[in-house]
């Protein structure tokens, strides 16, 4: 067999062994890759949109928790209630060896909008109200909302208030104009043991 004949019989065999993808196979694989890429990009886009909403929700929750916890922790030291209603409580508390006339007032409007309220704290010294501090902002269950009031009270057998509950609802979207539509409800209670003596 001549070299030319051997080359003719070898070339088709080499061509069969090293055959590549056809044009149709390349088009199908490219289309599949594009579909997967679009799905991944859509997932990343939705994650980028939800990220700020989740951060704001966590921030709103943390702010409200700190405010409610600080309020109930201080009011546990109450030894005399001056006045109490569904949205305010004024009490004498004993803190760091001194008497403080403390008021928590949840009847005000939030700067975030008239449909939201806020709970503020101030001390009264010599009949004059001191500086006001916002404890919880953007309260949904403000007066006139028809929702559960902020404060509810229970009395002991002698008819004295010794136990109170707080219920504060804030929007989960926090300060954002858009976001989650539901509300975050925080509840805590405090037993005023000094009033039960």
> How high is the mean pLDDT of the chain?
86
Task: Give the whole-number percent of the chain exceeding pLDDT 90.
Answer: 45
Tell me how far apart the alpha carbons of residues 158 and 196 are, in angstroms, rounded to a whole number.
9
Instruction: Identify the residue with better confidence: 47 or 78.
Output: 78
Per-residue pLDDT band for 17 (boundaries 50, 70, 90) equals: low
Q: Is it the case that residue 197 has pLDDT exceeding 80?
A: no
Tell me how far apart the alpha carbons of residues 156 and 181 are, in angstroms, rounded to a whole number.
39
The region of weakest confidence among 32-36, 145-149, 174-178 is 174-178
CA 77 to chain centre: 28
Task: Give the whole-number percent of the chain exceeding pLDDT 70.
Answer: 89
Tell me how far apart the alpha carbons of residues 180 and 171 are, in angstroms, rounded to a whole number.
8
Task: Give the pLDDT score at 72.
Answer: 94
Prediction pTM value: 0.73
pLDDT tens sequence across 97-134: 889 999 999 998 988 877 899 999 999 988 899 999 99
DSSP structure string for 149-179:
-SEEEEE-TTS-EEEEEEEEEEETTTT-SSS
Instruction: Identify the residue with better confidence: 132 or 95.
Output: 132
Task: Give the pLDDT score at 167.
Answer: 95
Task: Give the pLDDT score at 132.
Answer: 95
**Segment (H or E) for 93:** strand 88-95
- Burial (CB < 10 A; 0-12, 13-18, 19+), residue 139, is buried
Q: Is it the case that residue 37 has pLDDT exceeding 80?
A: yes
Per-residue pLDDT band for 176 (boundaries 50, 70, 90) equals: low
Instruction: Identify the residue with better confidence: 15 or 55.
Output: 55
Per-residue pLDDT band for 183 (boundaries 50, 70, 90) equals: confident
């Amino acid at each position: 067999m001549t070299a030319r004949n051997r080359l003719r019989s070898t070339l088709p065999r080499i061509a069969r062994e090293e055959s590549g993808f056809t044009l149709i196979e390349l088009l199908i694989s490219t289309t599949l890759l594009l579909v997967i890429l679009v799905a991944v990009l859509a997932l990343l886009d939705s994650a980028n949109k939800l990220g700020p909403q989740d951060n704001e929700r966590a921030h709103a929750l943390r702010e409200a928790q700190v405010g409610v916890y600080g309020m109930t922790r201080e009011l546990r030291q109450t030894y005399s209630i001056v006045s109490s209603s569904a949205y305010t409580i004024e009490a004498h508390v004993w803190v760091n060896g001194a008497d403080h006339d403390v008021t928590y007032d949840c009847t005000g409007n939030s700067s975030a909008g008239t449909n939201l309220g806020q709970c503020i704290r101030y001390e009264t010294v010599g009949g004059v109200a001191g500086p006001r501090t916002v404890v919880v902002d953007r309260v949904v269950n403000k007066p006139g909302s028809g929702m559960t009031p902020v404060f509810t009270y229970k009395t002991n057998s002698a008819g004295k208030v010794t136990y109170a509950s707080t219920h504060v609802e804030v929007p989960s979207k926090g300060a954002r104009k858009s976001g989650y539509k539901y509300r975050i409800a925080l509840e805590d209670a405090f037993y005023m043991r000094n009033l039960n003596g």
